[in-house]
Amino acid sequence: MDSNNDYRVSELDRHLVEFAQLLRTVGLKVSPSEISDATQGISMIGLVDRDKVEGVLQATLVKDIQHIAAFKEAFRSYFATLEQKEAWQKDVAQKATQWNEQMESTRQDLRFQENELDISEEQRAVYASLPEKDKQRLRDFLEKSSKGTRGGAPVDHSYQPMVERVLRGSLEYWRKRLNEDEPILAPGSMDGVLSEVQRALREREVEVLSRDLKKISPEEWPEVVRLIRRLSQRLASQVTRRYRQARRRGGLDMRATLRRNLRYGGVLVERSYRSRRKGRPRIVLLCDISGSMLKYTEFIWQFVYGLSTVVSGIKTFAFGEELIPLSGKFRKGQTFEAMVKDALLLTGKEWGGGTNLAKSLESLQSKFPDALSKQTLLLIVSDAQTLEVERAAALLGGVSRHVRQVLWLNTLPERRWLETPHVKVFLPFCQMYECYTLGHLTQILNKQF
């Protein structure tokens, strides 16, 4: 092989190694042998046809269908024109400069007696995102705290940890108020290509969260399932961190204590305590499996089961004309639809027909009385189109008195509820939410846990 060929091969190797590193950064696992396969494939087809190059790289470097979207964004960005890459690099540098300026400004604002406070970069970013009047309130609080007295004497630096805790609590409140489920982080890598891939994947995720679940194509299902798992795991981690206020003694609730004692000038006269949330709910999931509901039910079922690590005793029932118990029938890799079909085969019933919530609630009460208790959170997934609606409403009223709460996830948009007679009948006996996107589902469960 002559020197020119050696040069071309080494350039190809370098680009493939860099591209593989980019894929690893966005979550794909790429081994050296797979890079070798990709090199051989590219050597055989050449670099003239972009689509063929993408096809070979996808075939050799992607093992999981859930990673195809990340691969496509990485390919688009890495093999973009030089001018485009320079524009991304310039944009990243500009954002980094803005970020550094914001952080420096927060360091100047958030001080106690001229000392910088010990708070995270994310909390500083939340502060930087606040409206000016709310920033001023926090600055006023810090100023008053710095000049406060204790027993008639000025407070000293030992008071700083308490001030930091109050400020962290306030910034956490604002983080949730600003609806920032994702941590607000620094611009991250100064690599313009990586930044572009991450931006594109975030935009794609936001778009999926706000899309009607019924409009998600089968090709997108694997990616959406991955997103559902990540959302449910994040929600599960929030559940484990939460506390509630307690009348009896437990851990000292410093934020509530400081708030109660502001009227005493910061002297700790009264104390508040907190304990871990007790009595986590036992979820009973009642899923409508009529043809129009099946896709919604599939996604919601996957999301709720993602919480199974922190919510015990999830029991699942499907209902069409009759109640179909599904708990314990799920096999790994199986879809909800396949699980329902297997259950129907065992019971000798057929798919299709009408929806009869009344008959299903009656069966639930008579055949599975242990499923309904004061710890039960009954989740009903349905568009409320059912036979025997008056009887179903009466039965639901009875069930609601024996369980902790009935949440109805209605896939009809809320604006249509008033013109839908069936919905009005059920509203007095449950807390009903519109739920036809993953964004709706995340917000609802975030409120409940």
Share of the chain above pLDDT 70, in %: 82
pLDDT per residue as tens digits for the range 304-343:
777 766 566 788 888 888 888 887 776 766 777 777 777 7
- 443 vs 3, which has greater pLDDT? 443
Q: Which residue has the higher pLDDT, 87 or 7?
A: 87
Distances (CA, A) of 34 to 62, 382, 389: 9, 46, 59
pLDDT digits (tens, 9 = 90+) for 241-257: 444 444 555 667 777 77
Give me the pLDDT at residue 249, please: 54
pLDDT tier for residue 167 given thresholds of 50, 70 and 90: confident
- SS3 track for the chain: CCHHHHHHHHHHHHHHHHHHHHHHHCCCCCCHHHHHHHHHHHHHHCCCCHHHHHHHHHHHHCCCHHHHHHHHHHHHHHCCCHHHHHHHHHHHHHHHHHHHHHHHHHHHHCEECCEECCCCHHHHHHHHHCCHHHHHHHHHHHHHHHCCEECCEECCHHHHHHHHHHHHHHHHHHHHHCCCCCCCCCCCCCCHHHHHHHHHHHHHHHHHHCCCHHHCCHHHHHHHHHHHHHHHHHHHHHHHHCEEEECCCCEECHHHHHHHCHHHCCCCCCCCEEEECCCCCEEEEEEECCCCCHHHHHHHHHHHHCCCCCCCCCEEEEECCCEEECCCCCCCCCCHHHHHHHHHHHHCCCCCCCCCHHHHHHHHHHHCHHHCCCCEEEEEECCCCCCCHHHHHHHHHHHHCCCCEEEEEECCCHHHCCCCHHHHHHHHHCEEEECCCHHHHHHHHHHHC
pTM more than 0.75: no
- pLDDT of 187 reads 60
Instruction: Give the model's pLDDT for residue 443.
Output: 79
Predicted confidence (pLDDT) at residue 273 exceeds the cutoff of 50: yes
pLDDT digits (tens, 9 = 90+) for 188-211: 566 788 889 988 888 888 888 888
